[in-house]
Amino acid sequence: MTPDRHPLDRDVQFVKGVGPRLAELFAKLGVQTVRDLFYHFPRRYEDRSQFPPIGSVRPGQWVTVRGRLLELDSRPSRGGMAITKATLTDGTGIVSLVWFNQPWVRRALTKVEGEILAYGQVKEANWGIEIHAPEWELVEEGEDSDQFGRIIPVYPLAEGLQQRWVRRAIETVLANDLDHFVDPLTPAILKRQMLRPLRWSLRQIHRPESEEFRLQARERLVFEEFLYPQIAMQMKRLESHRETGIAFGIPEALWDEIAGLFPFELTRAQRRVVGEVLADMRRPHPMNRLIQGDVGSGKTAVAAAAILAAVRSGYQAALMAPTEILAEQHYINLHRVFEPIGLQVALVVGKQNSRQRKAALGAVGSGQAPIAIGTHALIQEGVEFHRLGLAIVDEQHRFGVMQRLALRQKGDLNPDVLVMTATPIPRTLTLAFYGHLDVSVIDELPPGRQAIKTYWKLPYERAKVYEGVRKVIAEGKQAYFVCPMISESEKMQTQAAEDLYYRLSTEVYPDLRVGLLHGQMKPDAKEDVMLKFRAGELDVLVSTVVIEVGVDVPNAIAMVIEDANRFGLAQLHQLRGRVGRGSDQSYCVLVAEAKTEEARARLETMVATTDGFKIAEQDLRLRGPGQLMGTMQHGNLDLKIADLVKDARMIEVARDCSEWLLQIDLHLQLPEHQGILSQVQEHPVDKTLLTVS
Ligand code: ADP
Ligand code: MG
């Protein structure tokens, strides 16, 4: 142990009563220092003043019961599982405690002499009631004259670690080490936010004197957990506002030219967002802007406007998409927009033969093509831009940060970066994850769109669904069938698509033109199918989720998603966004059983709304942020106490406070802000996966 180590950085093994063996168990929980012990928060609390009599508890309730063991029984089940069963009584009734495959529980229970506490959900059993896999612990001697008060913390444990050991260790550091904490938050901040001081909060979170105090303690700790990353992201954002970038000399007449690009008028939201983008581009600092827009909100038009602004100011623009299908789609669309005004668009994708590639790279390198569209092939070795000024990344969550970095560095200048995402996430999450970006939201759909009618049908109703699709096709429209997502494996996915294709093309629609699209097809074959479908030469397209993003065929107005319960909400929403892209009434049919409550809730949400933001909020509620963000990581948000859903409001509060603070002290140089600064430095923004610059 180094002598100058801060007392809070001491190894837990030196805490009285802990020692090296327990320290090893604590390490499994990520608790290594005294400070970590303080930040090992209870996962729940128990009011020990009232245990319900066992005779009064009912199935469905979550309860803590207290009693003596009557019987202990352990045997292998027929399925090969070891089942441990203990009967517990308090004189008013009997409950069975049941553990599966946890032989150590039996060993531990054998030694029990006095009373135990057991916590869990009560279930109905053949002969009375049971609790499956309950948490349990011994009733400590002297528990009734308890020094903790009546509200007892219950801590997360690791195997082999007992609740009372954790309680005792935390009790010890609360008594001896609490004074070593210095509150990073200044009195001014505490007052502004009406928050409790740190030491008070740490004590109350572990041994609350009342429910009210516990909530106040929690509020303070949650606030802090959001604050430091928020400050870090805000500093980053404000920093990029001062870096040297390109000040595009966008001509005044640009708006007129933008208006002439499209056969439609931009929506108010599109115009507002284009305005925000152009304002960023004019500034002599690099743009780092995220554009959020629900599927079909018209992000491509906004991108096109930004591209034109760059080109008319004498720079090149690049647009990078996550898949070849999407890159080609963008290429087709933008080529159609820009060719009539004499601007060459180059396509750079991996599948090109060397002649095509050479031509494309030549045009990009010489500047002859002011616009380049591509996949990650755009950022590979050997791609040189003549004068890259604007980089647009579509569907950003599919790219790792390194790829984006590489795109940015293709310019010698510091190009502007625009990130577009069709994954609407609630505003609070945007703040939590993209606080370092400026954000624009296209919160309006083009006029004349009709909400997609969505139905949920059970598998036995398939025949009717197929008939319905047939009617749509008879009217000259087209339909998608999305095959069930059976696994992450491409090969299995392909198999599923081929099966569905076979069934539809031979049994259900032998008289119609059915096509197949999946990720393992050769690029040429994929393109061929897409072109045919777009040209109306196919009636039905059977596909895997490769059509999830970006595909735009307005004449396709029906989609059937097989086994829709296998998809997450966000993904269903993306898939559904492939229809309803024109002015015709569109339909989406989810064919699924709902075996779980969650599956049912998801399907019902899809039927009830087409608003991506509402769907995202529901997804967040049902599955938590990890799922919603998909492959995105929590990045620098490693939450110990805060809950992104429950505490969403606090994210805004933290954001507001960080803005206020940085207005006073942009670089956190004031002496009273040194505590905050060192906390902020523990949350470096560029370590996250989400950083653009
Ligand atoms: P997103 O990428 O946001 O899902 P797209 O840019 O692909 O949406 O646009 C969806 C469809 O809406 C396209 O067919 C596009 O031509 C059309 N569109 C975009 N903006 C408008 C508008 N302002 N008015 C009418 N149609 C529009
Ligand atoms: Mg798009």
- Tell whether the model's pLDDT for residue 213 goes beyond 90: yes
Place of tokens 């969403």: 648
The reported pLDDT for the residue numbered 690 is 37
- Based on the fold, state whether residues 35 and 177 are members of the same structural domain: yes
- Based on the fold, state whether residues 88 and 125 are members of the same structural domain: yes
Q: Cβ(443) to ligand 1 under 6 A?
A: no
Q: Which of 96, 121, 147 is at the close of a domain?
A: 147
- Residue 447 in any domain: the answer is no
Q: Cβ(297) to ligand 1 under 6 A?
A: yes
Measured CA to CA, the distance from residue 638 to residue 612 in angstroms comes to 26
Q: How does the average pLDDT of the chain come out, rounded? A: 87
- The domain that holds 519 is classified in CATH as 3.40.50.300
Q: Which of 98, 130, 147 is at the close of a domain?
A: 147
Q: Cβ(421) to ligand 1 under 6 A?
A: no
The reported pLDDT for the residue numbered 522 is 81
- Based on the fold, state whether residues 469 and 366 are members of the same structural domain: no
Contact 94, 54 (CB under 8 A): yes
- Based on the fold, state whether residues 260 and 306 are members of the same structural domain: yes
Backbone angles phi, psi at 197, to 5 degrees: -70, 165
Place of tokens 């502004």: 192
Domain interval for residue 589: 453-609
pLDDT band at 405 (very low <50, low <70, confident <90, very high): low
Q: Which of 122, 147, 172 is at the close of a domain?
A: 147
- Based on the fold, state whether residues 137 and 170 are members of the same structural domain: no
Digit-coded pLDDT (tens) for 239-254: 888 888 899 999 989 9
Digit-coded pLDDT (tens) for 567-602: 888 888 888 988 988 888 999 999 999 888 888 989
- Based on the fold, state whether residues 483 and 559 are members of the same structural domain: yes
- Based on the fold, state whether residues 340 and 457 are members of the same structural domain: no
- Residue 240 in any domain: the answer is no
- Residue 691 in any domain: the answer is no
Digit-coded pLDDT (tens) for 118-158: 888 899 988 889 999 888 888 876 554 444 446 789 999 98
- Based on the fold, state whether residues 549 and 572 are members of the same structural domain: yes
pLDDT, average across residues 367-386:
88
pLDDT, average across residues 269-297:
92
Ligand 1 mutation target, pool 294, 300, 547, 613, most atoms within 8 A of CB: 300
- Residue 527 in any domain: the answer is yes
- The domain that holds 124 is classified in CATH as 2.40.50.140
- Residue 217 in any domain: the answer is no
- Based on the fold, state whether residues 19 and 111 are members of the same structural domain: no
pLDDT, average across residues 498-512:
95
Ligand nearest to the CA of 574: 1
- Based on the fold, state whether residues 329 and 304 are members of the same structural domain: yes
Digit-coded pLDDT (tens) for 430-484: 888 788 888 999 988 888 888 899 999 999 999 999 999 999 999 999 999 998 7
Ligand 1 mutation target, pool 264, 330, 450, 551, most atoms within 8 A of CB: 264
**Tally of structural domains, the chain:** 4
Q: Kindly tell me the burial class for residue 459, based on how many C-beta atoms sit within 10 Å of its own C-beta (0-12, 13-18, 19 or more).
A: exposed
Measured CA to CA, the distance from residue 477 to residue 479 in angstroms comes to 7
Digit-coded pLDDT (tens) for 549-565: 556 788 999 999 999 98
The reported pLDDT for the residue numbered 172 is 95
Provide the percentage of residues in the chain whose pLDDT is more than 90.
52
The reported pLDDT for the residue numbered 472 is 95
Measured CA to CA, the distance from residue 439 to residue 288 in angstroms comes to 9
Q: Cβ(257) to ligand 1 under 6 A?
A: no
- Based on the fold, state whether residues 571 and 597 are members of the same structural domain: yes
pLDDT band at 401 (very low <50, low <70, confident <90, very high): very low
Measured CA to CA, the distance from residue 149 to residue 50 in angstroms comes to 13
- Based on the fold, state whether residues 469 and 575 are members of the same structural domain: yes
Q: Cβ(271) to ligand 1 under 6 A?
A: no
Measured CA to CA, the distance from residue 480 to residue 466 in angstroms comes to 12
pLDDT band at 36 (very low <50, low <70, confident <90, very high): very high
Whose CA is closest to atom 15 on ligand 1?
298
The reported pLDDT for the residue numbered 311 is 97
The reported pLDDT for the residue numbered 688 is 37
pLDDT band at 635 (very low <50, low <70, confident <90, very high): very low
Ligand nearest to the CA of 444: 1
